Structure 1
Amino acid sequence: MRQDEQAALRELHGDYAQLLWRFAMRLVHDRAQAQDVVQETLLRAWQHPEVLTREPAALRAWLFTVARNLVIDEWRSARHRHEFGTDQLPETPADDATERVLDAWLVGDAMESLSADHREVIRLAYYGGRDTASIAAELDIPEGTVKSRLHYGLRALRLALEERGVSGR
């Protein structure tokens, strides 16, 4: 770009940017969009340097017509018709509970195949969140027995789940 063109564009910006912005704000009521309209209008003036040689009244009319047409084009665009701003976040999709329900049913069915002793220590440890000492105290059995029942009960549970088509790991 030549020096004289740069100077003309700076002068154009200085003379018309604020006026165009106020004009665009009255049309769009959005600061960012008004600024975009001004930038695009001045860009089009830069792309058509012959416009810069017009009389001031004709240049002003051309700039305001371009700005108005940009706003109208935006209003007519599909983006404007189908998109809208909101202060609320979109709904977050809820997790599909089907998978969890089926897993719970499968584990419950497999748990039924265990002995009552194994089922009880697994329930207290994994569903109750209890440690071996509290399980031993509640069931009035030694801690080693609790550990043994947990070990063999989990092995039997894994085997029962594999028989039902659940793969290990």
Structure 2
Amino acid sequence: MAGGPTGEPVPVQETVNTEKLRAILLMGGVPWNELEDGVQQVRLKLLEERSKPGQPLIRNPEAWAAVVASRIAVDWHRGRARDMGLRERLSLLWSVRPPVEHPEEEVLLAQVVAEGLERLPAQQRQALVLRYYTDLTVRDIARLLDVPEGTVKSRLHHAVAALRTELLDVEGI
């Protein structure tokens, strides 16, 4: 935390140069529509760093924020590559199955589920699709996403609860 002239903490907005962070994120390949999210992630990490007890002050918050912004850009690319790989595997999986005619009720249910999936947060949707559409185990999903198994279980629990609520709200299902 950088101190002001009187030694009190300086607000995060004044500690980091937002335009510089946007430029770093943009040069790192983060799309325009996600720049503000990246800036907020940098600010959040700065606040987290400042709130750690016994943590020494960040000597140069602007340089620290620039490094964090570049790491966020790298993480964005990793996530994008992971999503693209997943999309390719899913499209291969679905391309080998022949199309099947379904009764109207099943089509309606599929549409409601698809709309519910679209409304889920990306991480919950990803876990749900990997578990129930590709039949991966929780352990496999955790390894694939590089997260603990408990995180996968939590995401699945919240996603299923949200979809259940949505399905119960729809009449006739």
TM-score, length of structure 1 as denominator length = 0.40
Higher relative contact order (CA 8 A, sep 6+): 2
Question: Larger Cα Rg: Structure 1 or Structure 2?
Answer: 1
TM-score, length of structure 2 as denominator length = 0.39
